[in-house]
Structure 1
Amino acid sequence: MAPGARPVATDSVSELIKKCQKAASSKQYNVALDIANTAVQAFERDRSVSLQTRVTLLDLRTALHIRIEAYDQASKDAKMMIRLDRADGRGYIRCGQIERRKGNRTMAVTFYEHGIKHVAASDQYSQLIAKELAAVKDELRVMTLLSKAKDPMTTLPLEVVEIILSNVPYKQHVQMLRVCKAWNRLLCSMSPLTDTLAFPDAKRPVTPKMLHTALKRLREPRRISSRHVTAASSEILARHLQFWHRLPELQHLEIDDKWIPISDLPLSRYGLRSIIFGAETAISFDLVPAILKDCPNLEIAQFKHVTGSRRGETYLDRKSLQLQSENLQVLNIDVHAPMVVEFEHTMLFSGLPSLKSLSCMGLSCFEGSVATKTVDLRHMKQLEKLELERCTMPLIMLPPSLRKLRFTEIIFEEDSLQSSRLALPRRPRPEYTQLENLESLVVYDCPVYPMFIQYPAKTTAPGRLEEFIISTSEDAVPIYRVLFHTGWSRGFKRVHVKGGCVEDIDHEMFLEHCPALEELCLDSAKITGVFITGLLRANPPKLRKITLKNCEQVSSDVVPWAKPRGVEVRLIRGGQELRGRRVRYWD
């Protein structure tokens, strides 16, 4: 064919390949590329062209694209070679060659490694791929040795550095101070080291030297956490908390040691939004309302070790006490046993309208006629979480916003439960709150089930309640069965029942009334393997896990029997998990 002549469409693919090679050897790359394009169109029409010929033609066109530096088109052809025949090494070689020319040696290594994986060791191109891979790795090694490392702290814009460091924990900031002097200077001038004092997860007690070093970095303290400190360090920190002129900016204070005297701290001088006194920090109950009053901006208040005013005191009469805070959202009061604080049912919580979470331990409402007592929390329009433990409570009127409700070791003195024993006149049944937003309900180790929960369960439409945990006695069996016949049970996903009220026949109740059940835990239930087999043979659609604790009559054979049915059964007795080896239950 004369120079510059165009290919004839009627030529065979083999003839076109020869003409293309001849034009390429004469450095007529554009003519050769036209011939290669015609050949590709020809073999797309003619399916009889062998796979080897197709790969050869694409390899030739890829080489031409590389010659004219059309790397994107070359990359498409090279990848098409790999898709046509993964065992042919030419596609991997061309892809690696293109990436090296583009300066992307890391991607070239990836293609060569894929080639070694898919091309047979006996293939003629296997050794060439290995040779090219070694060459690229040597190039990368040399580039790494000769390149000058750049400090990201000085290379990146300061705004980007601040965004990155804001996602790094405080402890890692302290560790990064040792990297170099430049990092030390930069980190010591930025948050959180300039506004936070903390020693999270300290493996040894914080000494005065460690404390002084951290105090020197503080410029505008906003967060102070005192944990794992020695007596000497606590004394130093207490002096700073009392007399430091920079503390008006302090927003978060956490103290969990027994050395710092809380009553001596000028909390009213701080701009606190969060205050946490841990289990090691004893605080008098009378200080709680004073702290809430002195810190009007407080949003979180947790008192995890509340005591009396005098040592050894076990009873406090605070019926005239009222907690007041317009902005408080989270309140936790843990009165440690054996002390009990008695409060007036209409007073204690009436001044907390913005509360979202309330957790109390050791509060009791004894005095007065049962028929006249009601703890009304309906003014807390935003309350989502209520947890009470080791308390004596009358009727509680709950707000409809509740999502999580937990009662542990509560004695409920409701007139509907006690009037027959005390010979008191019954009052008209109150309008119980419809808890349509409730997601988690726990009633654990309570002698009786509260009526202000039982009646809403009967009348409230099936809602969001997914978690239900209850411990029952033999006297509470009727109430337990009634609860599982209410609309609430239709949404149960996680159920935990403690007590001997569950029997073998109750598997029908779970199947009928708990269609969304995913996890079931039974503790001390009077069941046998019949309960498990009856439950699983019905193929409940969502059940995935069953935990049996101290169920003595259940054989360990149910564990391997349930596994092929897609349900994990855990059998725990005496703190040890049992695994059966034999299967006795056949379908």
Structure 2
Amino acid sequence: MARTMSTEEYQDLGKSYYKQKQYEKAVKAFTTGIEAAVIPSVTLYDYRAASYEKLADFNAAVKDGRETIRLNKRDVRGYLRTASVLKKMNKLDIALNIYKYGLKNVPVDNKDFKLLQQLHDQLTRKLSPAKAVDPFTILPVELVEMIIGYLPFKNMVNCLRVSRGWKSYLTKRPKLWTNLDLSGAKKPVSRVFIRHAVDWAERGVTHLIVHRFQHTDVLRNIATTCKRLTDIEILSLPLMLSETLIEVAQCALHLKRLIIRHDISLDTATEILRRRPTLEHVEFTSITSIVPADGRPEWRGPFPCLHTLHMNGPPGGLNMSSLDVRPLLVQSPALRSFALSCCSGFLTHPESTILCERALTSLILKDVAFITFPRLPPTLKRLVLQSSRPLYLPRGPTMFRSHWEQASWNQAIQSYLPELTHLSLREMVDLTPEFFEALLDIYSDDNGGELKRIEEDQRTPLQHLSLAVLPHASSLFGAGGLLSSPRILTQSLTSLDIAALPCTDDDVEALLGHPTSLQSIDLSSTKVTGAGVKMLVDGLPGLRVLKVDNCRHISSRDAIAYAERKGVAVSCQMGDSFGGARKVRYG
């Protein structure tokens, strides 16, 4: 057909053929009109799509329908035509998505918007199950409680809004409400809801996590009426008064575990322990000040059940030079885990043996000013020591620069640690292989008698080692190196952190000469190159995490990409520590 007519004339001709049901001629007319137009109109594509639909050429019809949508997203015709054809092709899910896309783009005031909405709703109902079944009506009560029990408390509360039936069902299951967890609250929690929750639990609340709740009188009532309340964790509490915390601890007669992440004074902490001496697990994560005028809190015990005690000062460090926690440790014979952080003074003294007199399995001392290296108990399995100021260690059994270094050596040599599996030392100077040997491999009695070596069948290899120290050694992993102890580089070692230590590719090669099961390694701020990274990936089949932040000798991304292809998660951030250059993230 010669192009002797305008686009509008071809469009009218195609309509005429369509009305006469001559659909093939209509397609040809509309196609010629599209080819003749500088910018084809939506109408041409829509009519050609309709002609293709009549000819049962559904793929061509959908193609033209999508082109109609592309030309003008606000025109409803493209969505109606495309979805109609897709429904004939039995592609109902795709048709529903077309309707949804149209509802987002077509103006609400369009005269055909309601039609689009109706077709969308009809198809939605068609795709919905023929009959919705309430799972609560067919599942056993025990199974429902088990399923709901896996939900976070916030989600369980949301289930109350599903229907009256669900609310009635859930509120009649006391076991579901014994753990009141408000940690997911995004706005203040009302006292009415807490009162209802306690009633739904039939006053059998056992665990309580407080957040965004300011009604302290309700907390006191819960502590008094819920006789089985054993765990309380306070994340935040506006206008919290010391008296309230003390009263809550005193009223909860069976309270075993108390965690306060809200700011409290040291005087409040001591009073809580005095009023509830049967506590087993206590964490004060933000002790802000010392209230007593003389600065010396009184630990009035005993605390026969206390097995876990964690106390954290403020970031700047709580002045504990006048704080003596030795009476607290003396009155806690069952203590197994002790953590203290952010303190400018501490109890360690050459004559102090208080730590080794407790059967501690975990000892964490962070940002604490050590006078000497502490003497440690033989039951210890986890040890974290981080000095708030550099602690100088002796370089050997006879190389003492002060009587403090001699005291540190004696404390280390008298620490018998056969069960230690996790070790972290930070902010210590002149760490030598000899000191490591004194700490891990040999020991002597209290009288400084003959040195004895821990037998192989009596010692437990390390599983985790983290060092942020200034070493005094010729190498790290070689013979006579810093980490040459027989308890370190074994099959049990799964995690190693030696960031900022003088580690090179030669040290990496030496490390791979030992049989380890390393899964995580931190080599940040070392001299390792890309070749060292590849050696680690090839030599450690179990490696899963590798940190090489600020390793300036890694000159390209090739080694990082190689590690990623092997399934290793790599962290490689460059620039922040060296002149403020642009940060580059690999992995």
**TM-score calculated relative to the size of structure 2:** 0.61
AA matched with 1:282: D
SS at the partner of 2:517?
coil
Tell me the equivalent position of 1:517.
Answer: 518
CA contact (8 A) 1:321 1:344 kept: no
Cα separation, 1, equivalents of 2:402 and 2:325 = 22
Cα separation, 2, equivalents of 1:482 and 1:473 = 14
Residue number among 286, 295, 300 corresponding to 2:276 in the alignment: 295
Tell me the equivalent position of 1:402.
Answer: 380
Q: CA deviation at 1:187?
A: 1.9
CA contact (8 A) 2:174 2:200 kept: no
Give 5+ residue unaligned stretches, structure 1.
Answer: 1-140, 581-587
**C-alpha distance after superposition, 1:383-421 (max 9, x if no partner):** 332221111234433334433322233558799589633
SS at the partner of 1:168?
coil
Q: Confirm or deny that 1:306 pairs with 2:307.
A: no
**C-alpha distance after superposition, 1:314-351 (max 9, x if no partner):** x9445x74764222232211111332223447533122
Q: Which moved further from structure 2: 328-337 or 440-449?
A: 440-449
AA matched with 1:339: L
Residue number among 311, 319, 325 corresponding to 1:340 in the alignment: 319
Cα separation, 2, equivalents of 1:372 and 1:401 = 20
Residue number among 220, 230, 243 corresponding to 1:263 in the alignment: 243
RMSD: 4.1
Tell me the equivalent position of 1:82.
Answer: none
AA matched with 1:486: S
Tell me the equivalent position of 1:224.
Answer: 208
Q: Confirm or deny that 1:472 pairs with 2:465.
A: no
Residue number among 344, 369, 373 corresponding to 1:392 in the alignment: 369
**C-alpha distance after superposition, 1:67-98 (max 9, x if no partner):** xxxxxxxxxxxxxxxxxxxxxxxxxxxxxxxx
Quickly say closer, same or farther: Cα 1:173–1:443, change in 2 above 3 A: same
CA contact (8 A) 2:476 2:484 kept: no
Quickly say closer, same or farther: Cα 1:324–1:509, change in 2 above 3 A: farther
Q: CA deviation at 1:493?
A: 2.2
CA contact (8 A) 1:397 1:452 kept: no
CA contact (8 A) 1:449 1:479 kept: no
Q: Confirm or deny that 1:241 pairs with 2:223.
A: no
SS at the partner of 1:202?
coil
Cα separation, 2, equivalents of 1:304 and 1:568 = 32
SS at the partner of 1:326?
coil
**C-alpha distance after superposition, 1:183-206 (max 9, x if no partner):** 322322323565444323123333
Give 5+ residue unaligned stretches, structure 2.
Answer: 1-125, 443-453, 577-582
Cα separation, 2, equivalents of 1:428 and 1:180 = 70
Quickly say closer, same or farther: Cα 1:413–1:563, change in 2 above 3 A: closer
AA matched with 1:508: E
Residue identity (%): 21
Cα separation, 1, equivalents of 2:406 and 2:338 = 32
CA contact (8 A) 1:495 1:519 kept: yes
Tell me the equivalent position of 1:455.
Answer: 438
Q: CA deviation at 1:573?
A: 0.7
Cα separation, 2, equivalents of 1:245 and 1:546 = 51
Tell me the equivalent position of 1:250.
Answer: 229
CA contact (8 A) 1:222 1:252 kept: yes
Q: Confirm or deny that 1:506 pairs with 2:521.
A: no
Quickly say closer, same or farther: Cα 1:143–1:171, change in 2 above 3 A: closer
Tell me the equivalent position of 1:441.
Answer: 423
**C-alpha distance after superposition, 1:118-153 (max 9, x if no partner):** xxxxxxxxxxxxxxxxxxxxxxx99974x6x66543
Tell me the equivalent position of 2:554.
Answer: 554
Q: CA deviation at 1:578?
A: 4.7
Tell me the equivalent position of 1:130.
Answer: none
Cα separation, 2, equivalents of 1:504 and 1:201 = 47
Q: CA deviation at 1:526?
A: 2.9
Q: CA deviation at 1:522?
A: 0.9
Cα separation, 2, equivalents of 1:360 and 1:572 = 31
Q: Which moved further from structure 2: 207-216 or 411-420?
A: 411-420
Cα separation, 2, equivalents of 1:242 and 1:545 = 49
Quickly say closer, same or farther: Cα 1:550–1:284, change in 2 above 3 A: same
Equivalent residue pairs, number: 424
**C-alpha distance after superposition, 1:519-572 (max 9, x if no partner):** 3221211344454466567x4554455321111122124324556677665432
Tell me the equivalent position of 2:170.
Answer: 187
Quickly say closer, same or farther: Cα 1:158–1:452, change in 2 above 3 A: farther
Quickly say closer, same or farther: Cα 1:188–1:562, change in 2 above 3 A: closer
**C-alpha distance after superposition, 1:130-187 (max 9, x if no partner):** xxxxxxxxxxx99974x6x665435444444444443333223212222333332232
Quickly say closer, same or farther: Cα 1:307–1:541, change in 2 above 3 A: closer
**C-alpha distance after superposition, 1:247-277 (max 9, x if no partner):** 4443222222242213234222212111111
1:99-178 equivalence runs, <5 A: 145=130, 151-178=134-161
Quickly say closer, same or farther: Cα 1:449–1:291, change in 2 above 3 A: farther
SS at the partner of 2:286?
strand
SS at the partner of 1:263?
helix
Cα separation, 2, equivalents of 1:398 and 1:476 = 24
SS at the partner of 1:549?
coil
Tell me the equivalent position of 1:526.
Answer: 527
